[in-house]
Amino acid sequence: MLDSKYLRAELAETAARQATRGFVLDVEKINALELQRRELQVATQELQNQRNSKSKAIGQAKARGEDITPLLAEVDGLGAELDRAKLQLDAVLAELDAIAATIPNLPDLSVPVGNDEQGNVEVRRVGTPRQFDFDVKDHVALGEALDKGLDFESAVKIAGSRFVVMKGQIARLHRALTQFMLDLHTEQHGYTEMYVPYLVNKDSLFGTGQLPKFGADLFHTQPATEEGVGMSLIPTAEVPVTNLARDRIYDLAELPVKMTAHTPCFRSEAGSYGRDTRGLIRQHQFDKVELVQLVHPAQSMSALEELTGHAEKVLQLLELPYRVMLLCTGDMGFGSCKTYDLEVWLPAQNTYREISSCSSMGDFQARRMQARFRPEEGKKPELLHTLNGSGLAVGRTLVAILENCQQADGSIAIPAVLQPYMAGKTVIA
RNA sequence: GGAGAGAUGGCAGAGUGGUUUAAUGCACCGGUCUUGAAAACCGGCGAGGGUUAGUAGCCCUUCAAGAGUUCGAAUCUCUUUCUCUCCGCCA
């Protein structure tokens, strides 16, 4: 959510910047509503003021034992008038809130302008794709050949498409990756490991920006549109972890807060029919190790570089070639003001595919969540900045390892850093 | 799942319809005193919003959340959520 005062004052500027991400801000409508809001709010508060002071006068008169009948006559009709004003005001406020809740974050000025992923800018490439002297197989073929380590058929039977069953050494490799990532981030990068709920309420989804706009991307235990009922499966640990800051005021000394969590993620993938239907790339359920930081506003841009580096470190240690993409205005997520995607090299697809997305949300989520810090003892609390990134998506990392570390006989050479997590094994055959 | 008791500012804790503009204590901040500190004393001290040039003043909202009764609600009524105690069930 954007600052309503800023939105009012800099409406034209905001509209221009939103346009770069393909979002049309209805300036005239907002101006008209704002005009009404101002008038109605002042009028309503004035009526409330009258009611309060007159009611108090009645109380005082009664305490003195005076006749309060004339005073009661004075307030006659005031309540009805107030109700009417309030009703109108609430309607206008609701309309303004509804608009505000659907406005994306403002892109940072360092973000390149572009319409779609074609406009993304490659920042750097790390590692060189390996040259194979045999025909590479994709992860689906490799996984199935290894004692049905990846079993999509069984998953269809027990759940449906876009799920997977893992077995034996592949399942263990998947677990090993998770442990490795968590250990790296907690022991080397200073994150605190968190275990969090996988089902969350509406307030949390609003806080991080999934609601009201993106409810269709989630799985809900009951329709989330109904007031107060139903929880939703988390689409990312970003939701429960970032919401730990909701309605909290941190001391300056507590910042930055750096948290990591491993959770399954659930996404309905509505609207992605026909894309990545084969394999592990796009699933309804996948595991991810998430990095979240809560920082002082002055630190958020440097924290984004740092956090992105933490995610990159995973790829470097696994010796997987990747590149870093700076997303353009048109390709960024709803709440982000700046995003780096990490794309890992997949030899079977002969291309780089997204494996992590690291974003600074600025104060966008913090404002929705009222996540704040106190800059100085006795000073007013200010909104902090939130950042998050995948460090990494575990399923896609598994894909990258299977494909990049495959050998001519179909076996998989286990990266050195994972071997301690695989009981010392060096190869999966 | 059943029965009962609760939810008040950072914490503790008064307050059962109008001198509550939420008492008081602790914590915290500023001051007096002191070589310095402690103690004592004095003052301040929640959050959100509106108006505004304003971090000034004034005003509104906020006592778990929502709805209601009333001229007036922390206080009365209803619904929901959560917490605690006991029982049941379970990992």
CB within 7 A of strand B: which residues qualify?
A 4-5, 38, 41-42, 45-46, 48-49, 51-56, 58-60, 62-63, 72, 75, 78-79, 228, 249, 370, 372, 377-378, 380-381
How many C-beta neighbours within 10 Å does residue A219 have?
15
The residues, any chain, with a CB within 8 Å of residue A393's CB and separated by 6 or more, are A286, A287, A288, A355, A356
Element (H, E) at A53: helix A27-63
For residue A342, give the nearest of A364, A310, A317 by alpha carbon: A310
CA of A212 to C1' of B64 (A): 24
What are A364-394's pLDDT values in tens digits?
999 999 899 988 776 788 899 999 999 999 9
Q: Which nucleotides of B are covered by protein (CB under 7 A)?
A: 18-19, 21, 28-29, 47-52, 59-61, 71-72, 80-81
Task: Using alpha carbons only, give the angle A328, A330, A334 rounded to the nearest 5 degrees.
Answer: 105
- Category of A247 on φ-ψ map: left (φ > 0), alpha (ψ -120 to 50) or beta: left
Q: Determine the protein residue whose CA lies at the shortest distance from the C1' of B49.
A: A41
CA of A55 to C1' of B16 (A): 20
CA of A65 to C1' of B44 (A): 37
Provide the β-strand partners of residue A374. A251
Higher pLDDT, A162 or A60: A162
What are A166-188's pLDDT values in tens digits?
999 999 999 999 999 999 999 99
| pTM metric for this prediction | 0.93
CA of A361 to C1' of B28 (A): 33
Q: Determine the protein residue whose CA lies at the shortest distance from the C1' of B60.
A: A45
**Catalytic residue list of A:** 267, 282, 354, 357, 396
When the pLDDT of each residue in chain A is averaged and rounded to a whole number, the result is 92
What are A25-43's pLDDT values in tens digits?
999 999 999 999 999 999 9
Number of H helices and number of E strands within chain A?
13, 17
Give the closest nucleotide to A380 (alpha carbon vs C1'). B55
A221 burial level (CB within 10 Å; 0-12, 13-18, 19+)? exposed
What are A61-113's pLDDT values in tens digits?
888 878 888 888 888 888 888 888 998 998 899 899 889 989 999 999 999 99
